[in-house]
Structure 1
Amino acid sequence: MSHTPKREYENNKLIKRLRHQVGAAINDFQMITEGDKIMVCLSGGKDSYALLDIMLRLQKSAPVQFEILAVNLDQKQPGFPAHILPDYLHSLGVPFQIIEEDTYSVVKRVIDEGKTTCGLCSRLRRGILYRVAKENGCTKIALGHHRDDILETLFLNMFYGGKLKAMPPKLLSDNGEHIIIRPLAYVKEKDLIRYAQMQEFPIIPCNLCGSQPNLQRQVIKDMLQQWDKQFPGRIESMFSALQNVVPSHLADYRLFNFTGLQQGQKLPHGGDIAFDRENFPSTATLVQTSEIKQPVQADKPIINILDSRH
């Protein structure tokens, strides 16, 4: 595909931005260490294609050595084009494994028609992927969830689950045996859409999930997209809030010792200022700083994944 100089310039900017954001997330949460074997879960969607592509780019120059194993779970959905992923992965020359498990039939048999299938499908898929990671000696499992997925999960839990809980960039697996990483945690979905089009990934739609109307997650996604159009910078501000949590100004007594509060005690974030006028940064400032602002940690890693080993 030929590109005009302007399009080529924009494409290069996008590649650099995604590489920087993925590298920043890996560094901030110390996702990768020397000698890791990372299982990159490939679904056939834009996000996991982009994850694998960017991870392979970083692998070539990163100052730490790590292996990549691409894994796809063929869930035996009717009409699934089984040849696309093997052909694509062969063309890349990356080690890969295709796991065939008929979870589709299980889900369709257990879940009543019209009910949401995502929960059961996700649990079955996780169990299989954990097993495969263990069989292959993988030290990390990389998933393709991006910034918008994380925010959607936050609102899903608030609106429907009564919890202030999102999707962390790094966490232990359900069974405690694996470390799950999400290197796309700082990446916008709109950038991944552009990147998939630019790279011409052979996208495979998920007919099981995509055919379900009125999913709660889709309702949240539509809400966030509308906010992004109406209020530029709001999405950046919300994600920044996930990295600036103030337990003393929430209401979970398990996270903050409200019982032990003493008169004259100094709190890191001040006292009760609920009715004070606060000075918020402008929308323009939020947009400008969102690309470079990262969480501050005392145990910041010494090795930067974006440095060249040469």
Structure 2
Amino acid sequence: MGHGSCHRHGNDRDGGIPRHPQVGEFAARHRPARGVGVATGQANKLGRKLRRLAGKAVSDYSMIEDGDRIMACLSGGKDSYTLLDMLLSLQRNAPVAFDVVAVNLDQKQPNFPAHVLPEYLDTLGMEYHIVEEDTYSIVKAVTGEGKTYCRVCSRLRRGVLYSFARRIGATKIALGHHADDAVETLFLNMFHGGRLKAMPPKLLSDDGNHVVIRPLYYMRERDIVRWSKYREHPIIPCNLCGSQENLARPAVKRMLAEGDAIQPGRVDNIARAMRRVVPSHLGDGALVDFESLRRTVELMPTREVGDAVVSTFDHPNHDQ
């Protein structure tokens, strides 16, 4: 598949690759919140929380290194806007220097508002690319009647973005998946695939050419929704193609929401559990060599075991 056409933008008039966004302009035009009074205080508090969580995820999983060129995949949804906000904040405050390049894939879906993202990104004064690739026509051609486009569309989109990342010399590809996405994916794979598989915070692509990072890995979707509203992000709907996502994910989302309402913190605990796996207490022989498990000490003769028990309970220091 070709790259399609690409429009490159930046704040460098000499044609070179801009190294950093215009921080002053960004700060002036995009405060942590645009509201006033109480709303501003709440937004600033939420912003601090999200920046802390993003920083922790980046640190815990070594997502960003000095000299990285990070391609932030921007779809126009709340998650990807928040991803870009967090990366730009980290860029200004992190102890290492790295570049952020925003990339949007225009898949030529009907009624796609092509002006929205360029207008928004121009206000940030940063390097960005709009990649035009008509994957929509391909998806329509290969998807059967009554089937959803999402699976094929996602696969084609990933291929185009991976190729473009290599083209611009990106060392990392940043995606906007959050904790709720990871938990939902865990249950989808259990219910429909019969396997314990979720969504990792950092991933090496199958061909070994790309490192994918998810800086929002510790964030809850409800906080991202609030943040995006505070920031007044120009949201582009995800169903422009007319196809609706498979009902499985919304069903899992409802199930988790109901469980969280009954027992607050349940989703947080599930997300935490994915980071505290005990392979020896599962049944995957590829992770644990059950065949070779043997006793590490010889059993005591029965009489000696009895004598040891009596001796223990007769010990003068034994609690009564």
Change (3 A) 1:238 1:209: farther
In the alignment, is residue 162 of structure 1 matched against residue 166 of structure 2?
A: no
2:103 match: secondary structure? strand
The structure with higher relative contact order (CA 8 Å, sep 6+) is: 1
Per-residue Cα deviation, 1:161-195 (whole angstroms, up to 9, x for no partner): 11100000001123220000000000000000000
> How far off its partner does 1:8 sit?
2.2
Show structure 1 runs of 4+ deviating over 3 A.
Answer: 208-211
In the alignment, is residue 243 of structure 1 matched against residue 243 of structure 2?
A: no
Amino acid at match of 1:3: V
Matches within 5 A, 1:29-48: 29-48=61-80
The partner residue of 1:3 within 21, 36, 50 is: 36
Rounded Cα–Cα distance in structure 2 between residues aligned with 1:214 and 1:126: 19
Query: 2:48 corresponds to which residue?
Result: 16
In the alignment, is residue 197 of structure 1 matched against residue 229 of structure 2?
A: yes
Name structure 2 gaps, 5 residues minimum. Answer: 1-33, 298-320
1:73·1:99 contact (CA, 8 Å) conserved in 2?
yes
Rounded Cα–Cα distance in structure 2 between residues aligned with 1:209 and 1:263: 60
Query: 2:6 corresponds to which residue?
Result: none
The partner residue of 2:91 within 46, 54, 59 is: 59
Count of residues in Structure 1 that have an aligned counterpart in Structure 2: 264
In the alignment, is residue 255 of structure 1 matched against residue 287 of structure 2?
A: yes
Rounded Cα–Cα distance in structure 1 between residues aligned with 2:201 and 2:291: 32
Query: 2:247 corresponds to which residue?
Result: 215
Percent sequence identity over aligned pairs = 58
Rounded Cα–Cα distance in structure 2 between residues aligned with 1:214 and 1:259: 41
1:157·1:165 contact (CA, 8 Å) conserved in 2?
yes
Query: 2:111 corresponds to which residue?
Result: 79
2:104·2:130 contact (CA, 8 Å) conserved in 1?
yes
Query: 2:184 corresponds to which residue?
Result: 152
Rounded Cα–Cα distance in structure 1 between residues aligned with 2:35 and 2:233: 16
Change (3 A) 1:140 1:74: same
User: What is the RMSD of the two structures over their aligned residues, measured on CA atoms?
Assistant: 1.4
Rounded Cα–Cα distance in structure 2 between residues aligned with 1:245 and 1:167: 14
Name structure 1 gaps, 5 residues minimum. Answer: 266-310
Query: 1:134 corresponds to which residue?
Result: 166
Query: 1:283 corresponds to which residue?
Result: none
Per-residue Cα deviation, 1:65-124 (whole angstroms, up to 9, x for no partner): 000110000011100000000010011111000000111111111112321221111110
Structure number with larger C-alpha Rg: 2
Structure 1 length as normaliser, TM-score? Answer: 0.82
1:39·1:140 contact (CA, 8 Å) conserved in 2?
yes
Change (3 A) 1:149 1:34: same
Rounded Cα–Cα distance in structure 2 between residues aligned with 1:7 and 1:208: 32
Rounded Cα–Cα distance in structure 2 between residues aligned with 1:2 and 1:164: 43
Query: 1:115 corresponds to which residue?
Result: 147
Rounded Cα–Cα distance in structure 2 between residues aligned with 1:185 and 1:254: 27
Rounded Cα–Cα distance in structure 2 between residues aligned with 1:257 and 1:77: 50
In the alignment, is residue 26 of structure 1 matched against residue 38 of structure 2?
A: no
